């Protein structure tokens, strides 16, 4: 992990996430989506929040949607592919985030599809909220 690029994702309540998602601020929406994707135990709820912002004008928000779907795959081994894959296909049309979309597609292949195929796949582990690089 590149320590210079590490930014902790603060854990937020659902009310806080929903408040930020309705704020209209791309920065607040971005942060709320990442918090929901990273910390939320209910992956379906988190995915639902991501999908609401697939068409958002802000590239920062679109990037958070793509990254968030990857977090859900990594930490839960789940993504509703019938909803998530079309969303990723749409996001992939935006050249600025094509790389993160492709990475998320690879995470879905590894953590979701391989697990569903019966492979013993270890899911990702969240870093503690107060974790700092050494």
Segment 16-25, tens digit of pLDDT: 999 999 999 9
**By residue range, what is the domain housing residue 49?**
11-116
Segment 52-79, tens digit of pLDDT: 999 999 999 999 999 999 999 999 999 9
**Residue 97, domain member (yes or no):** yes
pTM listed for this prediction: 0.92
Segment 112-129, tens digit of pLDDT: 999 999 999 999 999 888
| Mean pLDDT (the chain, rounded) | 94
With the CA atoms of 8, 10, 129 and 12 taken in that order, what torsion angle do they form, in degrees rounded to the nearest 10?
Answer: -160
Considering its fold, how many domains does the chain have in total? 1
Burial class (CB within 10 angstroms; exposed 0-12, middle 13-18, buried 19+) of 129 = exposed
Q: Is 28 a residue whose pLDDT tops 90?
A: yes
**Residue 112, domain member (yes or no):** yes
**Residue 39, domain member (yes or no):** yes
């Amino acid at each position: 992990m590149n320590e210079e690029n590490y930014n902790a994702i603060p854990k937020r309540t659902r009310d806080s996430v929903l408040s930020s998602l309705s704020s209209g601020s791309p920065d607040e929406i971005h942060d709320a989506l990442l918090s929901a994707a990273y910390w939320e135990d209910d992956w379906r709820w988190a995915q639902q929040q991501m999908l609401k912002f697939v068409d958002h004008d802000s590239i920062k928000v679109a990037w958070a949607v793509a990254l968030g779907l990857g977090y859900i795959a990594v930490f839960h081994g789940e993504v509703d592919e019938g909803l998530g894959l079309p969303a990723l296909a749409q996001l992939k049309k935006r050249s600025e985030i094509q790389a993160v979309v492709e990475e998320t597609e690879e995470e879905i292949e590894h953590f979701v599809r391989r697990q569903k195929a019966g492979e013993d796949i270890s899911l990702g582990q969240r870093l503690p909220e107060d974790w700092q690089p050494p």
